[in-house]
Amino acid sequence: MIFAASKPNPEPMNLVAYDLWKFYGDRQVVCGVNFNLNPGEILGLLGPNGAGKTTTVGMLYGSVIPSRGFVQLGLHQVQTQASQARYYMGIVTQEDNLDPDFNVLENLIYFAHHYRITGSSARQRAGELLAQVGLQDYAQRRIDELSGGLKRRLVLARALINHPHVVFLDEPTTGLDPDARQYFWRLVSELKQQGCGVLLTTHYMDEAQRLCDRLLVLSQGKVIDQGTPTELIERTAGLEVVEVEGVSEAIIQQLATQAKTWYRPFGSSYLIGLPPVNPQLLWEQLATLELGRLNRRRTNLEDVFLLLTGTSLD
């Protein structure tokens, strides 16, 4: 696809989702999703498999047509002005889909042609991006010579070829080793500092907590909660939780009811939140029981996800 020629817009652009719905036949997949993505913000989209994340993201960049509602990027409505809107978007899908017939540099030069960036301009832009993602020493390498982490960097560079205002990252670090993930996180943080809006879907809670300014939690196609990572954790799960193993659910339920707090099964054990008022009392009650395991720790996004959706994100 060749995108319509357009001068780069220097003004920051908001991405706004208005009342997005999607039906496939009688099956309702996305139900009334609304949100803004601001320039210089990383917005995380979390949800279990089947929650509607992929469909929602598809509607945001125009590959899926909403049954109702629309998406606006700056002055452009994505569903009716797709070519103009996509000129300001960068997309990193879960698949690398790089062209194995071209080397690293050629992949970028070829992709630049989609935006009518050709000749010396394409070569210059490709060189800038290789330096930005730390691939300048790999310019002449074949794609099959790259590690998974290097391929993800190249896919990100490709998504930035057109100086996008909004970048969509769909589980970008899945399968990467810790070092490669850390490097990718640094690149994403740099995009934010440059004023780019980033929409991130991820299954890694540390990634969401470290990178995202705000989070939307989807379940069965609906946004069931949203806020900053800290807000979601403190409002939903409290400050501390105890992992308990080797006790019956009846006892855990009784203690949770008395303390006016929450509990959830968690694998072969249970989680029970320490209440904000006199948390030490519940902790001491648990400590007197004969338990196989007792672990007190800070709450995290995984606890939030378990409470909101009833399942572990991983």
Q: What is the pLDDT of residues 212-259, one digit of tens each?
A: 999 999 999 999 999 999 999 999 999 999 999 999 999 999 999 999
Helices 104-112 and 148-159: crossing angle in degrees, nearest 10, is 20
In this prediction, residue 8 carries a pLDDT of: 52
With 50 as the cut, is the pLDDT of residue 135 above it?
yes
With 70 as the cut, is the pLDDT of residue 152 above it?
yes
In this prediction, residue 313 carries a pLDDT of: 47
- Count the Cβ atoms, other than its own, within 10 Å of residue 99: 11
In this prediction, residue 309 carries a pLDDT of: 84
Q: What is the mean pLDDT of residues 112-129?
A: 94
In this prediction, residue 312 carries a pLDDT of: 57
For 260, the token pair is 């006016």
All domains in the chain, ordered by first residue: 15-232 (3.40.50.300), 239-298 (3.30.70)
With 90 as the cut, is the pLDDT of residue 11 above it?
no
In this prediction, residue 267 carries a pLDDT of: 85
Q: How far apart are CA 262 and CA 276, in angstroms?
A: 12
| Residue 307 · residue 263 · CB < 8 Å | no
In this prediction, residue 6 carries a pLDDT of: 44
Select the more confidently predicted residue: 48 or 166.
166
In this prediction, residue 5 carries a pLDDT of: 43
In this prediction, residue 1 carries a pLDDT of: 52
Which residues, 6+ apart, have CB-to-CB distance to 270 below 8 Å?
Answer: 243, 244, 245, 247, 249, 252, 263, 264
pLDDT band, residue 290 (cuts 50/70/90): confident
Give helix then strand counts, H and E, for the chain.
11, 14
Q: What is the mean pLDDT of residues 126-148?
A: 95
Q: How far apart are CA 300 and CA 240, in angstroms?
A: 9
Helices 148-159 and 178-193: crossing angle in degrees, nearest 10, is 20
Q: pLDDT tens across 42-76, in order?
A: 999 999 888 999 999 999 999 999 999 999 999 99
With 90 as the cut, is the pLDDT of residue 3 above it?
no
